[in-house]
Structure 1
Amino acid sequence: MKHRSAFILGLAAAAAGSPAAADLKIGFLATLSGPSADVGQDQYDGFMLAIEQMHGKLGGVPVSVVREDDQMKPEVAVQGLTKLLDRDKVDIVTGLTYANVLMALQGKIASTKIPFIGSVAGPSPTAGAQCKPNLFITSWQSDTTAEALGKYLTDAGVDQIAILAPNFLGSKDKVTGLKRFYRGKVVQETYTPLTQLDFSAELAAAGSSGAKGMFAFFPGSQGVSFVRQYQQFGMLQKLPMYSVHTIEPGSVNAMGKAGIGAIVAESWQPSADNDQSRQFVAAFEKKYRRTPTSFAAFSYDAAMLIDAAVKDRGGNVSDSQALTAAIRNAQFKSVRGDFKFNKNNYPVQNYHIYKVVEGQGGKPEFQVAVRNVLARHGDAYAQACNAQAGA
């Protein structure tokens, strides 16, 4: 079975002659197969780039990485995590791609003291009453990018929208976030199976709904299919697209001109104007021959966070609770510039609005339309969290 074929990558350890020579063992559990495998691959590539830049070490300590594919299936993820914890004896777990998968791991996370650092999934329960002292998220809580888009739509006077998204917890969180800030009317709200790739019926219904805009969220290859069909149906001309995590730098070339004109919300894009982001984008493009997505960027940040925390511990990773405290308090250079953890171990950060435009040579680019539409913004659930009390 593919998810059982984990392998160890230890750059510095390999140089020493054996992966077992590594002093820090990290489990990377993510969606690496199926329709959304590109999201997990972006996470992995961003994380491994940081380790490569630091010559196979984090915090000065040689690293090995044990990779497990959850296949976007909760039961497979539980099996993979059990292996990482019980057989591989990892010191840290990172990756964590989909909200429904992360929710299935909550019992396992609660049963151990080792730190978990997710770089995509951010389901609302884990930010509020079910938060945990050893669970950190470097991306965003699932509501927040849609909150930024909801504020933009309200400010722009778009008074009627249709909603189309896959049927899982991450989507429901995003729609909740959108509605928290959107003051117009939702005339249609439709959820599709998580693996659906044909949206012709849903697009036809949205086109006749009376909406003045479409809010869409479809990650990975779903997003490519959705955006292409949106153009084929001529929807952009009559129903502007407003999206989160659907049109990404890694997939926009596959979409061609289909996504040009769309409005997206995000806390980071490759055009971010700071030195850490610029060097990351250049290094990622040189190594992987593609433009990084936010999924890669937030995973790169996860590695930089671990690097800072291990340094603060003087390289000692044997005390899981002390390492967790070091992660919570670590200062590192984020690709986003301003970044800090809220009391629930979720980010407080800035969110921006981008327009997809035709750039040089006809290549789609993400142009800032509104900077800091939500500034130093934390999620709506943090006040229900008492994570640090159990640290």
Structure 2
Amino acid sequence: MNRLFSSLAAAVCLGTAALAGSAGAMGTAQAEGMKIGFVATLSGPASLPGRHMRDGFLLAVKQKNDRLGGLQTKVVVVDDKLDIEVARQSVANLINEEKVDFLAGITFNNIMLAVYPEVVKSETIFIGAGAGPGYIAGKGCSRYFFSTASQSDQNNEAMGRYARERGYGRVMLLAPDYRGAKEAIAAFKRHYSGEIVGEFYSKLGQTDFSADIAMIGKMEPDAVFTFMPGQMGVSLVEQFAKAGLKADIAFLSAYTLDETTLPVMKDAAEGLLSVSDWSPDLNTEENNRFVRAFEDEYGYEPSAYAAQGYDAAMLINGAVGMTGSVAEKKVLLSSLRAAPFQSVRGDFRFNSNQFPVHDFYLVEAIRRGSDKYVTEMKTKVFDDVGDSYAGSCRMN
């Protein structure tokens, strides 16, 4: 892979020189620097994933002395407030007024889908670090969109495979009543082949799960699978533990327990399972350095969102470092496709739809020391896997 990067770097440098016309044009680009618009949900009850993602991104920029790829770098951070109109206006302003060279971030799928048409129309390169809608990974894919985050179905699919391979014959499903959650449940069922003893959808924002807990106790499934992000997930986990169900019924989840929610769930979550493409104890040199640096900088444990944000900045750093300029998009797009950086997640490359091909792991919530709650890797579920939408992508 290093030989591939070296060869591509040489080709990219030659291409850049030809397109720019002279070395002087590259020098001008370096003098002018680079501007990145980073958009995420940074306020309100759903802000923690976005804050992790932002902090990971900014950590990488700081480590490069505000010079990603050797170019002086300015990051304009914007809070989309989980509001579609705010997000649209913010992205339009970043493109048309701030004249950013890259856009990055976006936490939630509905926000990403709302701003995506403007991104594609303007031919602005976007590095996604959180949201991963199936439409963008599939038939709506664009050469201007890359993602360092998994496509959103993949964690759910991985847990479905684990449940099947573990031999859980009877599983109960729980999720909020909205489209994205129903897609998550459908993704789980793609890889699970046992009996679904019940499929229940809660009102969005619900925090009283007493009826669901009673139903679990009555049905006595082998396992419960839930896609229940944010405060809903915190409440469900706390009530599941309080009801004494942890000892007899496996709790399987995706986007429910991680380093954004475990500090609140605490011991209620110990021993419960999730799936992720990353965990703090993933033993690679890059990840060990990243986790230490993140904790030193911010004073809290990073999540997968932080890792994805960090990788997004390092992807830009690698690509711009290969081209020496942001002036020629064709050359820059080629260097981005090569994924010219070492991900904190280890093996990483881009699929044909420019979403990652990488590994997925079963992780368990544990207490580390007296007061830290984190995920710990247990076993690999998928090795070097892409998402199920890539076959529908016809890159434009």
TM above 0.5, yes or no, is yes
Q: Is the 8 A contact 1:47 1:296 kept in 2?
A: yes
Decide which of 133, 136, 150 is 1:140's aligned counterpart.
150
User: How far off is 1:194 after superposition?
Assistant: 4.1
Aligned to 1:336: 345
Counterpart of 1:347 in structure 2 is 356
Does structure 2 conserve the Cα–Cα contact (< 8 Å) formed by 1:100 and 1:168? no
2:56 corresponds in structure 1 to 46
**3-state DSSP class of the match of 1:64?**
strand
Q: Is 2:86 the partner of 1:76? A: yes
1:218 CA displacement: 2.4
Asked which structure has the greater CA Rg, the reply is 2
Alignment of 1:358-377 (within 5 A): 358-361=367-370, 363-371=372-380, 373-377=381-385
Pairing 1:283-362 to 2, within 5 Å after superposition = 283-314=293-324, 316-361=325-370
- What is aligned with 1:5? none
Aligned to 1:121, which of 96, 109, 131? 131
**TM-superposed deviation, 1:22:** 6.2
In 2, Cα distance between equivalents of 1:196 and 1:105? 28
1:63-121, Cα deviation, whole Å (9 max, x unpaired)? 11112212222222112111111111111111111011111123212202111111111
Q: Which range moves more in the overlay, 211-220 or 274-283?
A: 211-220
C-alpha separation in 2, matches of 1:72 and 1:187:
34
**Structure 2 alignment gaps of length 5 or more:** 1-30
| 3-state SS, counterpart of residue 362 of structure 2 | strand
Q: Which has the higher contact order (CA 8 A, sep 6+)?
A: 2
Partners of 1:312 and 1:232 in 2: how far apart? 54
Written as runs of structure 1 = structure 2, the 5 A alignment for 1:185-224 is 185-224=195-234
Of 16, 29, 44, which residue of structure 2 is paired with 1:34?
44
Letter in 2 for 1:108: E
Alpha carbons of 1:347 and 1:330: their partners in 2 closer, same or farther (altered >3 Å)?
closer
C-alpha distance after superposition, 1:123-175 (max 9, x if no partner) = 11111111111111111011111111111111111111122223344423322
Rounded Cα–Cα distance in structure 1 between residues aligned with 2:45 and 2:196: 29
TM-score (norm 1): 0.89
Given that 1:91 and 1:320 are in contact with CA atoms closer than 8 Å, whether structure 2 keeps it comes out as no
Do 1:135 and 1:345's aligned partners in 2 also have CA atoms closer than 8 Å? yes
CA deviation after TM superposition for structure 1 residue 45, in Å: 0.3
| Residues 348 and 378 in structure 1, CA contact (< 8 A), matched pair in contact too | yes
Q: Which moved more, 1:330-339 or 1:100-109?
A: 100-109
Deviations 1:181-211 (A, max 9, x none): 1111222222334433333333333333342
Contact 1:118–1:137 (CA<8 Å) still a contact in 2? Answer: yes
Deviation of 1:342 after TM superposition, in Å, equals: 0.2
Counterparts of residues 177-256 of structure 1 (less than 5 Å) = 177-256=187-266
Partner of 2:185: 175
What CA deviation, in whole Å up to 9, does each residue of 1:356-379 have, x standing for no partner? Answer: 2344336444333222x1111111
CA contact (8 A) 2:102 2:125 kept: yes
Shift in Å, 1:225 = 2.7
1:217-256: CA deviation from partner (whole Å, max 9, x where unpaired): 2233333233222222333234321011211123312211
Deviation at 1:264, TM superposition (A): 1.1
Partner Cα distance (2:170, 2:355) in 1: 31
SS at the partner of 1:105? helix
**Which residue type is aligned with residue 341 of structure 2?**
F
Query: How far apart, CA to CA, are the structure 1 residues paired with 2:331 and 2:75?
Result: 21
Q: Does residue 384 of the first structure (1) align with residue 395 of the second (2)?
A: no
Q: Is the 8 A contact 2:339 2:350 kept in 1?
A: no
Please tell me the residue identity of whatever aligns with 2:393: C
Change (3 A) 1:221 1:283: farther
Secondary structure (helix, strand or coil) at the match of 2:163 reads helix
Deviates more, 1:286-295 or 1:238-247: 238-247
What is the identity, as a one-letter code, of the residue corresponding to 1:369?
K
State the Cα deviation string for residues 37-81 of structure 1 (Å, max 9, x = none): 011100100000000111111001111111221222222211211
User: Aligned residues, how many?
Assistant: 366
Tell me which residue corresponds to 2:107. 97
Change (3 A) 1:169 1:348: farther
Q: Write the distance in 1 (CA, Å) between the matches of 2:164 and 2:115.
A: 36
Structure 1 residue matching 2:301: 3-state secondary structure: coil
The counterpart of 2:271, out of the listed 246, 261, 273, is: 261
Out of 378-387 and 100-109, give the one that drifted further.
100-109
